[in-house]
Structure 1
Amino acid sequence: MLKEANLMKEAEARAGEALRKVLEKVPILQVEGIDGEIMSGEWQPDLIARLLVDGRPHQLICEYKSNGQPRYARPALLELRNYVAHVASEATPVFIAPYISPAVRQMCEEKGVGYLDLEGNARIAFGGVFIELAVADKPVAEQRELKSLFRPKSAQVLRAMLREPGRAWRVTELSQISGVSLGHVSNVRTGLMDREWARVSDDGLVLTEPDALLDAWRESYSAPPGERLRFYTSLHGSTFEDAARSAMRADSSPGRAAFASFSAAQWLAPYARTGSHYFFADDEGLCKLQAALKLTPSSKGENVVVTVPKDLELLADIVEPAPGAICTSPVQTYLDLCIAGERGAEAADHLRQERLSWPK
């Protein structure tokens, strides 16, 4: 406990120095002092900055949190607003954290609270003073945390939840349906709750912001690792579709394959046809496609692209909008379209409107 308290004190000291550096860049401001919290039984701010603004005194009432995610920011903003309203009415509240995401920055603005993070983002306004700073990149730790939320095992949990976004989930249920460990589900649960994309009800975990979750997934998404194979087929139109559906239809022989990307979108939410057909498949499924579609390898001029992903769970996240038309799920199809260039982005937007709209 003593070690944790000392670490917190050090972090607050760094926050105070970061605040001082930002304030000292404003010519009309004079920083008289930045004081640490005064221990008492009641809530007290972590830092109070005493300023002179053109000779007039002003205070910044600051709260520092080691985690700037919405789950921790929201109560801090409430405490700051209450303190300023009842104790220091002429002061300006400021929320400080190692990193403050755009969503929390917007929350601060809506609540009338300034913000500063240790990455260089800031917005502090009072009287005739307006400070606004922004950096383009997320810090490495934030990027890593988001990436971990969308890695294959975690993604299995998210796909299950997005299939039934209004459902309340117990951790054990999510573990069973997604096929990942209870510990991994708990980590995903924490990540969702920290960002306020989900909440816990009496019945379990419920997605509250599926659109925000999908937006963040899209921003972090890259093509699934695996072997991308290019082929040519002489089959076209309904002859091609019938052969593909016959190859993918469940039977006793091993092998899984599914329409993907633009080809899946044609079944899920038709928008624009392309000259190529796209599939995900495992090794046996690839063999079935090669035989049924008369595929020959092609280094250029290909019209069939088959990806054999390392994460074969992608082939479990499927839908069948017509008999034998096995497609990657709307979520997976959307993500793949988003990285498929301009036409893909347009098709993705259309698919999202048609198949991935949730009640607000």
Structure 2
Amino acid sequence: MMKWEFIVKEKDVFEDQAITQLCGLLRQVPVIDNVDAEKQFSRVDAVLNVRTGNTAYLLACEVKSNGQPRFIQAAIAQLQAFMFSAEDAFVPVIIAPWLSPEAQALCNENGIAFLDMEGNARIMFGGIYIEHQTTNKPAVEKRSLRSLFSPKSAQVLRTILKDPHRIWRVLELAEESHVSLGQVSNVRQSLLNRNWAIVHNNGLSVLKPDLILDAWKTSYQPPAGEALSFYTTLHGSTLESRLREVLCCSEKAGKAILASFSAAQWLAPYGRTGVDYFYADKKGLEKLVSALQLSPSLKGANILITLPKDSGIFRDSIEPAEGVFSTGAVQTYLDLTTYGERGLEAAEHLRNQGIW
């Protein structure tokens, strides 16, 4: 009982703060003479009576403690139902701690005014027009995205994005991603909250793979691990021939796969670089050093090998040509985005060629 009371009080506090902020914003508009808030409505959180000269406007406000698109859709439906049955004309408004661009778009598409605590706002009625955009994200949203794109969650996302049209059951997704059921459930819930996925009778499918990839790109950090630099005198067809002999991705043989620009060269060629990139485990590293006649190099290196702490990066490796193993399209795309302007160009070229 005490826990329930705390939750109710916490919601009431935010609701009061939200309504107060909206009132304060409206009172800054010179042509608005008066703003009064009433909370004696059972079907919306508050109604504001806004007066400009001889004209009064009623703003029906719905306050949500979570501004993810899934919850905003529910708020929109609630406001629409309220206005349909109301005798008076209302201006619908949604207020939340933070509204993502997708949530804001939902409001705009449905003619709903909005305000969030980070400073995003779009409110229009009568001759009043308020619009403000900010790129700020609250700390809780940043943590949420870091969690969604953490190494274990990334295994789930890479599995899903291999075939974004597939419908997944939680158990089979956990088995194929090699993570726990709880991890899959967390990713599933996060995707649903953002309207990036939908649940069918027979499982989960992705609605907006491009939005997932865009958000991942923004939050992406290269895999943690040991980065090693080498030099080889091999090049051209000789180097390619040796690579076909040594590249591998199995527990027994070891793991050594092409990455970044080197992987992209086999997936969607976009000009060559003077460096070849790899992910490898210790067995794979030994094979690369031997087969490519590598010598350590601090300057002028033309072979960069990363030994990632997270072995999940190897799970979606592909074989784009016989004997050639590389990171999958999604991982290759993400890695390319970390290499400056040229990397971004190569990444977008790969994406335009069709990641899916």
Is contact 2:258-2:327 (8 Å) kept? yes
CA contact (8 A) 1:269 1:355 kept: no
Q: Mind listing any 5+ residue stretches in structure 1 that lack a counterpart?
A: none
TM-score by length of 1: 0.94
Deviations 1:227-260 (A, max 9, x none): 1111111000011111122111468954211000
Per-residue displacement from partner, 1:240-296 (whole Å, max 9, x unpaired)?
Answer: 111122111468954211000000001111121111110011122111111111111
Q: Which position in structure 1 is the counterpart of 2:341?
A: 342
Distance, in Å, in 2 between the alignment partners of 1:251 and 1:156 is 17
Aligned residues: 353
In structure 2, what residue type is equivalent to 1:324? Answer: G
2: CA distance, partners of 1:153 / 1:250: 19
- Partner Cα separation in structure 1 for residue 286 and residue 24 of structure 2: 63
What letter matches 1:150 in structure 2? F
How far apart in 2 are the matches of 1:109 and 1:327?
Answer: 42
Q: Kindly report which structure 2 residues correspond to 1:272-287, keeping only aligned pairs within 5 A, or say none.
A: 272-287=271-286
The answer to whether the 8 A contact 1:277-1:305 is kept is yes
Between the aligned partners of 2:328 and 2:87, the Cα distance in structure 1 is: 54
Given that 1:93 and 1:114 are in contact with CA atoms closer than 8 Å, whether structure 2 keeps it comes out as yes
- Taking the aligned partners of 2:220 and 2:87, their CA distance within structure 1 comes to 45
Equivalent in the alignment of 2:298 = 299
Is 1:32 paired with 2:31?
no
Instruction: Judge conservation of contact 2:261–2:276 (CA < 8 Å) in 1.
Output: yes
Task: Tell me the percent identity.
Answer: 47
8 Å contact 2:265–2:272 — kept in the other structure? yes
| Structure 2 partner of 1:144 | 143
Measured against aligned partners, the alpha-carbon deviations of 1:182-204 in whole angstroms (never above 9, x if no partner) come to 11111111000001111110110
The one of 12, 17, 22 equivalent to 1:19 is: 22
Q: Which runs of 4+ in 1 moved over 3 A?
A: 249-254
Q: Structure 1 residue 109 and structure 2 residue 108: aligned?
A: yes
Shift of 1:59: 1.4
Q: Could you tell me how far apart the structure 1 residues matched to 2:280 and 2:351 are?
A: 24
Q: CA RMSD in A?
A: 1.5
Which residues of 2 match residues 157-306 of structure 1 at below 5 A?
Answer: 157-249=156-248, 254-306=253-305
Ranges in structure 2 where 5+ consecutive residues have no aligned partner: none
The answer on 1:3 being equivalent to 2:3 is: no
> Is the partner of 1:345 in helix, strand or coil?
helix
Q: C-alpha displacement at 1:21, in angstroms?
A: 1.8
Code of the aligned partner of 1:230: S
Q: What do the CA deviations read for 1:100-137 (whole angstroms, capped 9, x no partner)? A: 00111111111111001111111101111111122222
Letter of the 2:194 counterpart: R
